[in-house]
Chain A
Amino acid sequence: MNILEVRNLTKQFGGLTATSNINMDVKKNSITAVIGPNGAGKTTFFNMITAVYKPTSGDILLNGKSLVGLKPHQVSKFGITRTFQNIRLFHDLTVLDNVLVGMHQRLKSHWAGTLLRLPKTRHEEKEAKVAAYKILQYVGLADYVNENAANLAYGAQRRLEIARAIAAKPRVLLLDEPAAGMNPKETKKLTDLIHDMRTRLDVTIILIEHDMKLVMEISDFIYVLDHGELIASGIPEQIRNNKRVIEAYLGKGAVSNAQ
């Protein structure tokens, strides 16, 4: 069953076509990778799903319902959250508060409840902190609850982005280059985490990644973009040997030269 369907999705920035007529079917509870050389339009694709950009044309369907035209904060309510390629943490908030902000749309309390110190609000707030702590334990950041996000090491910041995103209990989780800047050990841990999230959180994961080892190891299905166009799709074995994909990455003629 497809949870997310993308139909003829196109985005133009002035004269530049960042993505052109992309079609995708993302299976529920799958791990799907979107790969492609720099500037292929991968992040633009994520930005359209999360309503940061409005598509020039085409449609995005979550469980058959269109997301086009929603505000970014509404997309999160519909169950899609993401991490960012260029880390976008709330750098002056503590690690715990970053995760609590991730829970924002799940918390029902109202400012009036806060001021009147309603038992319900206080209870929810307390429970939210415990839940946030559990999420931090899960991604391995529980030792840093009171640290400012800005003070974390790079790899830890990437994991905090994931923690914040899953705090919203998404049904679809978008990861934009989660392994960028990580060393092999950290990447291994991240691979395990992504695998585990899929089963434990019952979430569908779409990731953009340049680390081919990670992509091939983890993905059920791969889409390849180049210059905004979808040039290939398939399971890892198919992509690994796809001539057009190799050409896109290594330049035209690379395949024939090698032969």
Chain B
Amino acid sequence: MIFGWMNQFAQSKRSQIIFFAAYVVLTSLGLYFIQDSVIAFLLLLFSILILYYLKLSNKAKWIMGFLILAILVPLSASHGSAYQSYMEVGTLVGIYAAMSLGLNIVVGFAGLLDLGFIAFFAVGAYTYGIFASAQASKFMPFGHYPLPGDTFWLFIIAGALIASIFGILLGIPVLRVRGDYLAIVTLGFGEIIRIVLNNMDHPINITNGSMGISSITPPDFFGISIGNSSQFYYIVLAIFMVVMYIVTKLEDSKLGRAWKAVRDNEIAAQAMGIPLVRTKLAAFAIGASFSGMMGTVFAAKQMFVDATSFTYLESTMILVMVILGGMGSVPGVILGAAVVTILNTQVLTEISNWLNQLSTTGAIAIPDALSPAKMQRLIFGILLIVFALYRSQGLIPHKNKKVNAEELKKAASEGSSSPEAGSPSPETALVNESRTTGGVDL
């Protein structure tokens, strides 16, 4: 596999950096000069994956990744006529990657299968849609609507908060059930949210029902109205970076360990003092908040929302991104989101168009029933089956973070363990009160 080969190459730092720089320069020049080259665009994006495998410090990777995505990609793409469509793809990848990272917390870390995840995206989208359009004036007793575009930035946070409240609302009843039942209940929840949004036009018109909400105010950035994909790209990139930071930090923390402990063995996790309900609700709430933020961006970008964007198929698609990328694996899930999005928006459309062309010229015979859109789904389905069979752990399988055993050994022999780490928890008064002995350091 290409991944294995890259790992091998990982020995010499210098040759790696030279190779990487050459790769990035070549692909960006390619994208700059060969107009509308999808291949060059994809190859440039691929550099992020290479970067992940390089033997550099995390900080260096973060900075380089940011520079490539924030400067190099937009700059190289800006030359051709397909600039906006490339940036649109980049924006979509960012939106789906952030949502996949959210679902990954729920499914990959905490082991709770959620088949209705798109509901939180819908909640975020409608939150901005309603208040940033004339819709809110139909039921709000006070205030002037639409709210101006500079409130958008607050709505990103509001979208996150409201979505996480919905995450908790979903969690409370759902956590009584497990496994298959949980999956079914979440599926139902997703559909209920969609149907409710689709019907909340009477008795009070809140969502405008199946007509959807149109003329949503675009965001306003210090007087600049943000309208095209090359601008939304930066908003999405910024949110994605924040999401990425939160996920990587939480994964290797007390909460992250608690999620995985609950996933691996609920009874043992509880016996170790992990409160089951609170831990699962935290997963639902944090996962949902990422979706809520991106929902807000989605509504602002489309300037229109209706319930058809939030079907069960969309929930499945995000789950596919997580599973295809590698459940529980942060880089895997991001790659999964990128691959699925690019397949759906670029590669598969090209392939099915090409096949269609062949069929009209009579080179091959495709049944009429198989329209290009259906053809696209068919190829996508076949690809999924192939992946499930030959790479069932995902594109980048999850790996546990390793600690530096030598360092720990040294620290342990120095006896640097402080009393804080060893003192009993103050959380329950009873413990403090009755726990005078016990808890001796080794």
Contact = CB atoms under 8 A, between A and B. Distances in A.
Interface of A: 50, 52, 62-63, 65, 71-79, 81-82, 84, 88-94, 96-97, 100-109, 111, 114-115, 117, 123-125, 127-131, 133-135, 137-138, 142, 145-146, 148, 164, 168-171, 200-203
Contacts of B269: 90, 101
Contact of B265 (A65, A89, A114, A138): A89
B408 A171 contact: no
Contact of B421 (A62, A94, A124): A124
A134 B412 contact: yes
Contact of B442 (A125, A142, A200): A200
Contacts, number: 195
B442 A111 contact: no
A200 B264 contact: no
A52 B267 contact: yes
A71 B265 contact: no
Interface string B266-288: 01111111111000001000000
B237 interface: no
A90 B265 contact: yes
B250 A145 contact: no
Given A105-B273, A106-B424, A133-B409, A114 B268 contact: no
Interface stretch (B86-94, B163-171, B425-433): B425-433
A63 B438 CA distance: 13
Interface of B: 245-246, 249-250, 253-255, 257-258, 260-261, 263-265, 267-276, 282, 400-403, 405, 408-409, 411-412, 416-418, 420-428, 430-431, 434-435, 437-442
Given A73-B273, A90-B261, A134-B442, A105 B400 contact: no
B272 A84 contact: no
Contacts of B254: 104, 107, 109, 111, 114, 125
Closest 8 CB pairs of A and B: A105-B273, A127-B421, A76-B273, A171-B438, A72-B270, A169-B439, A88-B268, A90-B264
A98 to B, nearest CB: 8
A166 B45 CA distance: 48
B104 to A, nearest CB: 15
A168 B268 CA distance: 13
Given A93-B264, A133-B412, A105 B272 contact: yes
B257 A114 contact: no
A97 B441 CA distance: 19
A77 B273 contact: yes
B267 A88 contact: yes
B440 A76 contact: no
B400 A108 contact: no
A84 B264 CA distance: 15
A76 B260 CA distance: 19
Contacts of B260: 90, 92-93, 97
A228 B245 CA distance: 54
B431 A78 contact: yes
A145 B403 contact: yes
Given A90-B260, A101-B257, A107-B254, A130 B416 contact: yes
A104 B438 contact: no
Contacts of B427: 77, 105
B253 A114 contact: yes
B408 A145 contact: yes
A253 B273 CA distance: 46
A68 B253 CA distance: 32
Given A200-B440, A202-B438, 10 more contacts: A52-B267, A73-B275, A79-B424, A93-B261, A100-B257, A131-B417, A133-B411, A148-B400, A168-B272, A169-B439
Contacts of B424: 79, 106, 169
A242 B88 CA distance: 82
Given A100-B257, A104-B273, A131-B422, A169 B438 contact: yes
